[in-house]
Structure 1
Amino acid sequence: MPGVSARGLSLEERRQLAVDLTRVLSLYRPLLDAYIIEFFTDSLWGTLPRSWQEALDGLDPPQLATLLLGMPGEGDVVRYRSVWPLTLLALKSTARALAFTRTPKFQTPSEFRENPSQSSRLKAPFRKHVRPKKQHEIRRLGELVRKLSDLTGCTQVVDVGSGQGHLSRFMSLGLGLRVKSIEGDQRLVQRAQHLDREVLQALEKEEKRNPQVVQTHSPRSPHHVVQWVDPGTLCEEVLLPLETSPRSEARLLLTGLHACGDLSVALLRHFSSCPEVAALASVGCCYMKLSDPGGYPLSRCVAALPGCELSYRLREGACHALEDYAERLQEAGPGLRTHCYRAALETVIRHVQPQLRRPGVQGIPRAHELKIEEYVQRGLQRVGLDPQLPLSRAALEAQQAQENRVVAFYSLALLLAPLVETLILLDRLLYLQEQARNSLPETWCWWLPRGRWARPSLSWRRKTLMPAEERRILDSI
């Protein structure tokens, strides 16, 4: 898909992009701030311009995927059933033009074409207990970390927020890196250590069965540490080398797969402040958990821009993968009606108890297979209200008839979600560049496209490579 390449922009161009993003997000703030479960209670359809309503009304999900979200490839012809208003076409073009480039095609990675549940590029022991998406992520990020570690001369990798240790395990036992994994939850650390032993035993059995296979390295489990990393302060444990050599001689590479909320910010601060940290490869997530202030904005450039504020709703929306939803629209499955059902439930809840707004509703299994009345009854029970309340079947059926409008409104908001994510990531890049101007050599950013199989990924490091070497690394991953 077309978009902006972070690597191809000068500092001034990146600053201008931040200005453009804040202007666009401010312009469409009402659309972005809206909660889809309030579609009926707040009459969200009526907040759209009349010309937009006329263009979108009646479109089925596959048409929305094609006409609004750009599901076809770049060379495909898009045929509109009517003339769309220029303002809506401008929104669509702007959303695509200002976002960082993402996965260009809607397709499953080649490593899953033979078996959709097992990566052909990952050994069996590293696939156990790991879902396909995570298999792809640990393989791709692990290989990038190894190349980056070799080229920057790092002596140790530190995996922060390591969870059950799937990435740490692959980097240490699969790729031969010296890895320290830091996780704040002791139960997850114990689970990681158990899985380490399982993988070591599996690798030993495999070596006995195939003695002709030459190991390129001696298997060495990651060193697990139970430690909470405070995003506001530097963590001494992160910076301590595993070896007995002085800390000043250590060259560390920090990484985090799905470094949630402020954990990504903590990694950035360690990188910019600590000379021992020579490289960083971070894959952030859960932007809605960023503290404000503190987690966003980080850069002085973005903080000074009017309209740079991002509400919880905007940051939460930025976590959704537009590509996934476009595929769901193309498939036109019954699961798309869930938003409409939940919006209908919200109208009943507020009619019964007006002060109860947007309550969390525990998941209702196979909700899309229920009739709307059944869904509402189960939903009422889950929020502590009487499920036997009398319901207006006519009102619920009238709301269900607007299912495609609900989907269209949600698609509009999701179209802009990549702009929010781009602003957050651009803010982090500008923060590093500001630090570089003060104390660090020039800092480069690598952007690994986000798509169905990978969260957004950023790698930063100090300038030690020529541009040709940088491109060669990216092309090989």
Structure 2
Amino acid sequence: MPGVSVRGLSYEERRQLAVNLTRVLSLYRSILDAYIIEFFTDNLWGTLPCSWQEALDGLTPPQLATLLLEVPREGEVVRYRSVWPLTLLALKSTARALAFTRMPGFQTPSEFLENPSQSSRLTAPFRKHVRPKKQHEIRRLGELVKKLSDVTACTQVVDVGSGQGHLSRFMSLGLGLKVKSIEGDQRLVGRAQHLDRELLQTLEKGDQRNPQGVQASPRRSPHHVVRWVDATALCEELLLPLETSPRGGARLLLTGLHACGDLSVALLRHFSCPEVAALALVGCCYMKLSDPGGYPLSRWVAALPGSQLSYRLREGACHALEEYAERLQDEAPGLRTHCYRAALETAIRGARPELRRPGVQGIPRAHEIKIEQYVRRGLQRVGLDPQLPLDAAALGAQQAQENRVVAFFSLTLLLAPLVETLILLDRLLYIQEQGFHAELLPIFSPELSPRNLVLVATKQPLGQAFSLLETEDG
């Protein structure tokens, strides 16, 4: 989907975009704040303007993908079956115009053309134990970090929230960077160290088979540290160099691949430390941001009326619009689960009015059973009597509104990128308010990795060097 490119915006234009976003989000907050499981209990369909109801009612899932989300199939011609109200058309245009573009410089990652489960740009040892999505991510982010490290003369990379160490391993053993890997879970660190040893053995065997290809300098595994990084305090371990640079103090590059919630905030706050020269951050899990503290970070956004973002808005910003559009185009049977869960919520509140939006353990193959079976199993999962009397006619009437439920949820997904844009824009402005430089680049294929925008920050302006970071997938 098209959208705003950060690279084309001045500092003042970024601030004005924040103003526009808060105004638009305030205007459509009733849609964004809605929980789809309350579709029937809160009459969500009735909250839409009548003209919107007329335009959306009866649309099939593929039509919703094409007409509302504007994600048509390749070669499909977009044709409206009726004249849509200007207010709904304006919503569509606004959602597309104000959101950061998530489309990188390639359509389909060429690395998977030969084999959809193996990246052709990673050698077999680096693909082992790594799913295709993660293969794509560690290669793209790792190569960007290598370029950013070169242009900013960094001496060490610090991978924060490194998990099993796939990114750290690729950067150190694949790209030759000095990497410190910080992870708070001892079990994940133990697994990472095991995979390090396994990879080193594989690479050494390859060297023995091909002595001419042996690299001159010895390979260095990542240096793993078990440490929780707090968003509210500086972490000394994060800032300590692995070794003293002969040219003076260390120049660190901080990175995090899908740094969850406040971990992204911690990286942003550590960027102001003198030891840190650059940052490459891909965030996620916005609903886990501390409130207050995790958002807003910038003085500008904090002062804007309507800048507050509820848990529901931040959670919605993590949905995968492209993946959902594909489900709509395929008319995936699982789409009806929205309607089933909303019907279950009605039954739950009928039995216990004070019990609202309880977590329901997943019901296997829910779309293959009848709605009454689903509701009874759901009642049992929340501790209620599954044999409670149910109104079969009411359940049938609710199931008949299945496409309306999907249409309303599609509206929330249409607006969700605006929330993510405001959160990321707040981070850009936070960096710039400190006198530093920040850009935002779409780095991953959004179909593979929905959270695909990397925030790149430096202490000195890089000018045209940022173009070096935006290489297309070759």
* The two structures share one fold, judged by TM-score above 0.5: yes
- Cα 1:378–1:73 change in 2 (3 A) is closer
Quote the residue 2:456 is aligned against: 459
Report deviation, 1:421.
0.2
- 2:405 is the counterpart of 1:410: no
- 2:382 is the counterpart of 1:383: yes
Asked if the contact 1:101–1:449 (Cα under 8 Å) also holds between the matched residues in 2, the reply is no
Question: CA separation in 2, counterparts of 1:347 and 1:324?
Answer: 28
Asked if the contact 2:125–2:203 (Cα under 8 Å) also holds between the matched residues in 1, the reply is yes
Q: Secondary structure of the equivalent of 1:444? A: strand
Q: Secondary structure of the equivalent of 2:103? A: coil
Question: CA separation in 1, counterparts of 2:78 and 2:399?
Answer: 29
Asked if the contact 1:432–1:443 (Cα under 8 Å) also holds between the matched residues in 2, the reply is yes
Asked if the contact 1:448–1:458 (Cα under 8 Å) also holds between the matched residues in 2, the reply is no
Report deviation, 1:217.
4.8
Q: Secondary structure of the equivalent of 1:474? A: coil
Q: Secondary structure of the equivalent of 2:271? A: helix
Asked if the contact 2:52–2:85 (Cα under 8 Å) also holds between the matched residues in 1, the reply is yes
Equivalent residue letter for 1:287: Y
Report deviation, 1:236.
0.3
Question: CA separation in 2, counterparts of 1:296 and 1:472?
Answer: 31
Equivalent residue letter for 2:437: T
Asked if the contact 2:376–2:387 (Cα under 8 Å) also holds between the matched residues in 1, the reply is yes
Report deviation, 1:206.
2.3
Q: Normalized against structure 2, the TM-score is what?
A: 0.95
Equivalent residue letter for 2:307: C
- 2:163 is the counterpart of 1:169: no
Question: CA separation in 1, counterparts of 2:386 and 2:139?
Answer: 47
Question: CA separation in 2, counterparts of 1:427 and 1:248?
Answer: 34
Quote the residue 1:439 is aligned against: none
Kindly provide the CA deviation profile for residues 224-263 of structure 1, in whole angstroms up to 9, marking residues without a partner as x: 0011101011110010000145996100000000100111
Quote the residue 1:253 is aligned against: 253
Quote the residue 2:153 is aligned against: 153
Equivalent residue letter for 2:27: L
- 2:130 is the counterpart of 1:134: no
Report deviation, 1:446.
3.2
- 2:440 is the counterpart of 1:446: yes
- 2:278 is the counterpart of 1:279: yes
Equivalent residue letter for 2:460: K
Quote the residue 2:298 is aligned against: 299
The worse-fitting range, judged by mean Cα deviation, of 224-233 and 1-10 is 1-10
Q: Secondary structure of the equivalent of 1:188? A: helix
Quote the residue 1:401 is aligned against: 400
The within-5 A match list for 1:90-101 is 90-101=90-101
Asked if the contact 1:73–1:105 (Cα under 8 Å) also holds between the matched residues in 2, the reply is no
Unaligned stretches of 5+ residues in structure 1: 437-441
Asked if the contact 1:7–1:444 (Cα under 8 Å) also holds between the matched residues in 2, the reply is no
Report deviation, 1:116.
1.4
Kindly provide the CA deviation profile for residues 180-214 of structure 1, in whole angstroms up to 9, marking residues without a partner as x: 00011111111111111111112122222333434
Asked if the contact 2:289–2:295 (Cα under 8 Å) also holds between the matched residues in 1, the reply is yes
Report deviation, 1:397.
1.6
Question: CA separation in 1, counterparts of 2:104 and 2:68?
Answer: 16
The within-5 A match list for 1:34-433 is 34-72=34-72, 77-103=77-103, 108-215=108-215, 217-245=217-245, 249-272=249-272, 274-433=273-432
Report deviation, 1:473.
2.8
The worse-fitting range, judged by mean Cα deviation, of 363-372 and 175-184 is 363-372
Q: Secondary structure of the equivalent of 1:346? A: helix
Asked if the contact 1:341–1:376 (Cα under 8 Å) also holds between the matched residues in 2, the reply is yes
Equivalent residue letter for 2:262: D
Equivalent residue letter for 1:474: E
Q: Normalized against structure 1, the TM-score is what?
A: 0.95
Q: Secondary structure of the equivalent of 1:249? A: coil
Question: CA separation in 1, counterparts of 2:201 and 2:454?
Answer: 32
Asked if the contact 1:169–1:222 (Cα under 8 Å) also holds between the matched residues in 2, the reply is yes
Question: CA separation in 2, counterparts of 1:466 and 1:87?
Answer: 40
Question: CA separation in 2, counterparts of 1:389 and 1:247?
Answer: 75
Question: CA separation in 2, counterparts of 1:258 and 1:116?
Answer: 22
Question: CA separation in 1, counterparts of 2:439 and 2:340?
Answer: 43
The worse-fitting range, judged by mean Cα deviation, of 261-270 and 449-458 is 449-458
RMSD of the TM alignment (CA)? 1.8
- Cα 1:37–1:247 change in 2 (3 A) is farther
Question: CA separation in 1, counterparts of 2:261 and 2:27?
Answer: 26
Asked if the contact 2:253–2:277 (Cα under 8 Å) also holds between the matched residues in 1, the reply is yes
The worse-fitting range, judged by mean Cα deviation, of 197-206 and 399-408 is 197-206
The worse-fitting range, judged by mean Cα deviation, of 398-407 and 99-108 is 99-108
Equivalent residue letter for 2:343: A
Equivalent residue letter for 1:417: A
Asked if the contact 1:248–1:276 (Cα under 8 Å) also holds between the matched residues in 2, the reply is no
- Cα 1:194–1:53 change in 2 (3 A) is same
Report deviation, 1:106.
10
Question: CA separation in 1, counterparts of 2:216 and 2:389?
Answer: 70
Question: CA separation in 2, counterparts of 1:100 and 1:82?
Answer: 30
Asked if the contact 1:241–1:247 (Cα under 8 Å) also holds between the matched residues in 2, the reply is no
